[in-house]
Amino acid sequence: MAPPAAADRDLRLDLFRGLALWLIFVDHIPSNAVNWLTIRNFGFSDAAEVFVFISGYTAAFVYIRALREHGPIVAGARILKRAWQVYVAHIFLLVIFMAQIAYVMMSFQNQLYAEEMNAFDFMQEPGITLLQALLLKFKPVYMDILPMYVVLLIGLAIILWPLDRFPHLVLGASILLYILTWRFGWNLPSYPSGHWFFNPLAWQLLFVFAAWCALGDENRLGWILRSNLLLGLAVAFLVLAFATTLTWYVPGWTRFMPDAVARVIYPIDKTSLHLLRFVHFLALALVTVRLVPRDWPGLRRPVFRPAILCGQHSLEIFCVGVFLSFTGHTILVEVSPRLWMQVLVSVAGIAIMVAIASVMQWYNRIEKRRPGPRPPNPGLAGGEA
């Protein structure tokens, strides 16, 4: 397996993005006992918040250099190019995913797969549905996050320059849009009905906040990260969030949740990024940053290398994870739903993701090799540069 990237790269971003991809894969397999171990069962947020935050952080960190060296037009063009790549990957993934669902549905003579995966309209009217998919309106199950990411990248191309010049003003505008979205129920329409599962008008707050953090210096966040008081409050909030989630799974414990509190906090909506989900992620991130500093030597240990590799190839591994999730679901339905099979499917899927990431890293390494100038005396040369 290839070693991690260069020393100046923050491996924490790759590590936790890779772990988020694993958690998304496991969570996407219904009736899987392994997903009881994912973070969604221990608090209000889940791997989606981790993925979106790190994506916003890394995008701003990468493209700000282009902005400061070449100006807003070049930086915006590069961001839009990345948005186009994600869009193409989404469409390619959708077509292949529909083919996978159709094959499984016909092989096992089970029409429920199409309805369960929200693919029934595609099977009935593929032409119209594909057109709606090109407009990012039709999205089967498992495929909601990439369209949102495309919209967020387009937004980043617009706000990157003002975010660099007036960071607090842009963050304030993001907060205002989030509040208005909740107040008036704004969202984008889906096909054939309904709205986007990940409302980009609300989730932009997490993305923009991540970009705001990435462009800030030590003075902006240093006091927050060093504050023991805020650390204690974050830990206390995480404990309360965990206690609240226990009332969802232990029926007898619902009596410990006061009715007045329940009326205020429920439902903790994921579509429009409920405030409690946002705060829970911030608390989790603060504790994580304190426990895992950037220079922590453990990041170089081989045990973390598989997750880091997956995080460094996040788009491709996410696409692979979609296929593997449905494949795992099919195996549990058609072969065996037993616990040992659930564990085997989950572990095998993660192993395949790691293997593909390792191969991609190997390709990247050999493609970066360039032949050096031919030495005067080939007999004394040490081979290729």
- Reported as type and span, the H/E element at residue 49 is helix 47-70
5 occurs within a structural domain: no
Choice between 38 and 223, residue whose per-residue pLDDT is larger: 38
Looking at the domain assignment, is residue 375 inside a domain?
no
pLDDT for 328-345, tens place per residue? 999 999 999 999 999 999
Looking at this protein, which amino acid is placed at residue 143? M
371 found inside a domain? no
> How many Cα neighbours within 13 Å face the side chain of 180?
9
Can you say how many angstroms the Cα of residue 35 is from the centroid of all Cα atoms in its chain? 16
**What average pLDDT does the segment 24-46 reach?**
93
Determine the Cα–Cα distance for residues 295 and 10; give it in Å rounded to an integer.
9
Is the model's pLDDT at 264 over the cut of 70? yes
* Paired tokens of 320: 């692979």
Is residue 370 very low, low, confident or very high in pLDDT (cuts 50, 70, 90)?
low
Q: Considering the domain boundaries, does residue 260 fall inside one?
A: yes
Find the Cα–Cα–Cα–Cα dihedral 52, 53, 55, 61, rounded to 10°. 160
DSSP H or E segment with residue 312 = helix 305-312
pLDDT (tens digit per residue) in 3-33: 444 446 789 999 999 999 999 999 999 989 9
Whole-number average pLDDT of the chain: 90
How would residue 383 be classed by pLDDT, with cut points 50, 70 and 90?
very low
Task: Tell me: pLDDT of 225 over 90.
Answer: no
Over the stretch 273-328, which tens digit does the pLDDT of each residue have? 999 999 999 999 999 999 998 888 889 999 999 999 999 999 999 999 999 999 99
Per-residue confidence band for 381, with pLDDT thresholds at 50, 70 and 90: very low
- Please calculate the CA angle 278-23-16 and round it to the nearest 5 degrees: 65
> How many domains is the chain partitioned into structurally?
1
Tell the residue number behind the tokens 């930086």, with chain if given. 75
DSSP β-bridge partners for residue 195: 189
Q: How far, CA to CA in Å, does 255 sit from each of 43, 239, 247, 250, 262?
A: 19, 18, 8, 10, 11
Residue 372 located in a structural domain: no
Q: Given pLDDT bands bounded at 50, 70 and 90, which one contains residue 132?
A: very high
Looking at the domain assignment, is residue 280 inside a domain? Answer: yes
Instruction: Give the structural domain span for 234.
Output: 11-366
Average pLDDT over residues 232-252: 93
- Say if residue 73's pLDDT is above 80: yes
| Residue 1 within a domain | no
* Neighbouring-strand partners of residue 189: 195
Count other Cβ atoms within 10 Å, centred on residue 215: 18
373 pLDDT above the threshold of 70: no
Residue 140 lies in a domain: yes
